Structure 1
Amino acid sequence: MNPNISYINRDIESKIKNSLNQGKVIVVYGARQVGKTTLLKNIFEKLDIPYLYLSCEEQRVKTKLVPDYLELKKMIGDYKYIILDEAQNLENPGLILKILIDNNPSLNIIASGSSSFDLANKISEPLTGRHFKFMLYPFSYNEIKKNVLGIDMDFTWRESLLFGAYPKIFTTENNTEKIDLLSLLSSDYLYKDILTYGLVKNNQKIHDLLVALALQLGNEVSYNELSILLSIDYKTVERYIDLLEKSFVIFRLRGLSRNLREELKGKVKIYFYDLGIRNSLLNNFTELKLRMDVGSLFENYFVLEKIKSYQKGTRVPNIYFWRTYTQKEIDFIEEVDGKFKAYEIKYSSKKTISKATKEEFMKSYPTESIKVISSDNLGEEI
């Protein structure tokens, strides 16, 4: 179904362009294969300016990019625009970037990274207040809608519940090929950086943890229960989840609790940055009408699309879910300046939010709106 498209403009593209020529390094984070290299090259090609592209996964590049300006100058020559791709592979990326900017403030450097646990740690101190940070996700609903003329968005978002929205997957028409590509992604790329840096002692355990999280999609997660299930200690579960989040495989949504007596405290839900990866981990690509987990897939999709949509604005809200001991629950909440917007996410348009839940939430929090999101009105809210 998907048309043969050469390029889809990304929502962060204009923000990156506007951040050039300001004497700061630009850092773009995102999972492997999410389109970082394509995006960055395309920006400079559209601007029609010469640029130097360096892949920091190449040994030749890693050897020559050292914290010495004379050596760095030999490498970059007279280029004013430089891409350092997968910069987390450099030994001292923060110091290297600082030396380059200190000695030549007119340089425009964009560094990309597929893991924030390593790159963010290495650049935060040397580049304090001297870098812009952006996040690139798999294609969003709105990126596809704006760039692919005549596309059936109702079909497309439903397909994304099964196969996700990685660029390579989206532009592949055959479902069998999609499944094969997702299998390759989830096995070869998913935790490449975690394994490269020796941060996990047992590869099978982290895979088993991801499978367990995939099965619990949309439910509150207990680290203690995962610890027992996987026969690893609580702290290891916590560390593995943190590493997976910093590798842009999963993300956490925390419960809203302002010390009201009946609210659940300290709870967390875990979602996937791409549902194709989630379904590949379970080897389950059954069509939606036959699935028992379609509600959880739809919830993950809406929450993720909301997060993607924040890139277009200037304010990023605090986000939560909410539940009480009496089982009153709201799936997704945005907070800006102490005001709340609440969303109950129901795949079926026939389901509603109870009056008691509405009243209790609105009594406790200054609420701008409470909406029910279903398959009928999804496109209006993302």
Structure 2
Amino acid sequence: MESYIPRTIETQLYESLTGPIRKVNILYGPRQVGKTSLSDKILHQLGTDKILRLNADAAPDSAVFSSRDPAQLRLMIGNNEFLFIDEAQRIPDIGINLKILHDQFPKLRILVTGSSSLDLANKVLEPLTGRTRTWWLYPMSAQELSSAFGTLNYHQRLEEWLLFGTYPEVVKTPGREDKISYLTELTNSYLFKDILELANIRNSNVLRNLLKMLSLQVGGEVSFNELGRKLGVSTLTIQRYIDLLEKSFVLKVVGGFSRNLRKEITKSQKIYFLDLGIRNALIDRFNPLSLRDDIGALWENFLFIERMKLLRNNQLRGNHYFWRLHTGAELDMVEQTENRISGFEFKFRSKKAKAPESWVKAYPEASFELINTENYLPFVLEPPKK
């Protein structure tokens, strides 16, 4: 694991797998994000060879683990103390079988991964009620990359993160063309193969065109009705596809913040991509920032997702929204944690911004901050205080 970059959730996931409270640990995340590498690192730290590793793509393994037969499961488990199942959503009836394993093998510790929260969650949610601990692994975070390379190096490579994203393989790949080739292949194989197969979608052109349209609307409010009209499908179809893309870790759907003031917009949504490299690959735009007209959208997407990853990776509770009034006053992000509300405006170059008067009047207890390229590092590196 010479090129392995430590992940923020690593220690906490290890402690959950080995601690006194026994749970089925489920690690969600998109393909190629590093779930298997993280799991291998943790399993290696266990210091035992009593580990059963299974790949759900292997037919014999899948057949036994979909059997619901305790005797067959016992034969496979043997005297192993740990069980690791990769891409568990591919095993039929995985939830029932994990319940059997958890309940009938009291010393067995279980770690499973899944690249679709839609598919795997549907299979394990009810059978494993109260028996799971859920973890999320995203493309490399600012906190992880800064720890690995140093804060100065991270900042110097900001344009790289905005253009090519932070999938582990992209980070490790030095050449521009090699990065583009990898992202193009990942987009074609993961987005337009796995997701189509997962949801049994026959019309791939609609999904492809929807993603391209959403790529061009990053940071703007999205109308599902309008998307449906342009693509010639129903609003319900658009909602289904976007829900699928969010649960497959491609998109993040963000709603409007409101405390029921009449002028606040709450029914619209904004769409962000979990990785900007995927977004740029969809529209085949990797030209330098100096030649782009979408820097504002890239910057907003980058900051919004990095802040979300920062809270999630550090196991902090918080919700993120945008805020806008019908009169036009707006904020790019509202962060609501247990004890504070914070408003943020994102500007790539601007050094000055004032909180909208309507925001200050409606939420006098809330803070406001402009985030630009000169002060963004604490925003993406330092978790908010509890």
Normalised by the size of structure 2, how large is the TM-score?
0.94
CA contact (8 A) 1:80 1:106 kept: yes
Between the aligned partners of 2:12 and 2:205, the Cα distance in structure 1 is: 39
User: Using a 3 Å threshold, how does the CA distance of structure 1 residues 285 and 235 change in structure 2: closer, same or farther?
Assistant: same
Aligned to 2:384: none
Pairing partner for 1:367 from 365, 372, 380: 365
C-alpha deviation, 1:335, in angstroms: 0.9
Query: 1:283 aligns to what SS in structure 2?
Result: coil
Taking the aligned partners of 1:6 and 1:187, their CA distance within structure 2 comes to 26
The 5 A counterparts of 1:33-72 are 33-50=32-49, 51-65=51-65, 66-72=67-73
The 1:227–1:6 alpha-carbon spacing in structure 2 relative to 1, beyond 3 Å, is same
CA contact (8 A) 1:339 1:368 kept: yes
- Measure the CA separation in 1 of the matches of 2:110 and 2:43: 12
| Residue pairs, 1:1-382, within 5 angstroms | 6-21=3-18, 22-50=21-49, 51-65=51-65, 66-149=67-150, 152-337=153-338, 339-350=340-351, 352-355=352-355, 357=356, 359-382=357-380
Indicate the SS of the match to 1:367. coil
Q: Aligned partners of 1:319, 1:72: CA distance in 2, in Å? A: 43
List runs of 5+ in structure 2 lacking aligned partners. 381-386
Instruction: Give the CA deviation at 1:313.
Output: 3.6
CA–CA separation in structure 1 for the residues paired with 2:199 and 2:135: 26
Q: Quick one: which amino acid aligns to residue 84 of structure 1?
A: I
- The Cα of 1:339 is off from its aligned counterpart by 2.9
What SS does structure 2 have at the residue aligned with 1:20? Answer: helix
Aligned-pair CA distance for 1:315: 3.1
Aligned AA (1:377): N
Please tell me whether the aligned partners of residues 94 and 124 of structure 1 are also in contact (alpha carbons under 8 angstroms). yes
Q: CA deviation at 1:327?
A: 0.9
1:6 shift after superposition:
1.1
Per the TM alignment, residue 259 of structure 1 is displaced from its structure 2 partner at its CA by 1.9
Contact persistence 1:31–1:137 (CA under 8 A) = yes
Q: Are the aligned partners of 1:115 and 1:193 in contact in 2 as well (CA < 8 Å)?
A: no
One-letter amino acid of the structure 2 residue matched with residue 56 of structure 1: A
User: Can you give the 5+ residue segments of structure 1 that lack an aligned partner in the other structure?
Assistant: none
CA, structure 1 residues 327+338, in 2 after alignment: closer, same or farther (shift >3 Å)?
A: farther
User: How many angstroms does 1:149 deviate by?
Assistant: 4.8
* Cα distance between partner residues in 2 of 1:264 and 1:172: 42
- Most deviating of 189-198 and 102-111: 189-198
Identical pairs, percent: 41
Deviations 1:176-214 (A, max 9, x none): 000000000000012544322343231111011000000
Query: C-alpha distance in 2, partners of 1:191/1:113?
Result: 18
Task: Name the CA distance, whole Å, in 1 between partners of 2:144 and 2:342.
Answer: 24
Q: Deviations over 1:132-174 (max 9, x none)?
A: 0000000011101112258611222321110000001100000
Question: Given that residues 255 and 266 in structure 2 are in contact (C-alpha distance below 8 angstroms), is that contact kept between their aligned partners in structure 1?
Answer: no
Deviations 1:277-327 (A, max 9, x none): 000000000101111001110111111111111134443112110001111
Shift of 1:47: 2.9
- Work out the CA distance in 2 between the residues paired with 1:268 and 1:29: 24
SS of the aligned residue for 2:157 comes to helix
Distance 1:45 1:296 in 2: 41
Change (3 A) 1:46 1:114: same
Q: Does the 8 Å contact 1:34/1:136 carry over to 2?
A: yes
Corresponding residue SS for 1:91? coil
Distance 1:223 1:312, change over 3 A: closer
Paired with 1:45 and 1:157, the residues of 2 have a C-alpha distance of: 33
Q: Residue 39 of structure 2 aligns to which amino acid in structure 1?
A: L
Distance across 2 between alignment mates of 1:315 and 1:280: 31
TM-score w.r.t. the length of structure 1 is 0.95
Is the 1:317–1:334 Cα contact (8 Å) retained in structure 2? yes
1:277 and 1:55, CA in 2 relative to 1: closer, same or farther beyond 3 A? same
Contact 1:191 1:247 survives alignment (8 Å) = no
On the 8 A contact 1:25/1:130 being kept in 2, the answer is yes
Q: What amino acid is aligned across from residue 30 of structure 2 in structure 1? A: A
Question: Does the 8 Å CA contact 2:28/2:137 hold for their aligned counterparts?
Answer: yes
Q: Matched residues in 2 for 1:294 and 1:246: separation?
A: 27
Task: Check the 8 A contact 1:340/1:366 in 2, yes or no.
Answer: no
Aligned residues: 376
Amino acid at match of 2:241: Y
- The alpha-carbon deviation at position 258 of structure 1 amounts to 2.0
- Separation in structure 1 between the aligned mates of residue 111 and residue 71 of structure 2, nearest angstrom: 20
Displacement, 1:46? 2.4
SS at match of 1:227: helix
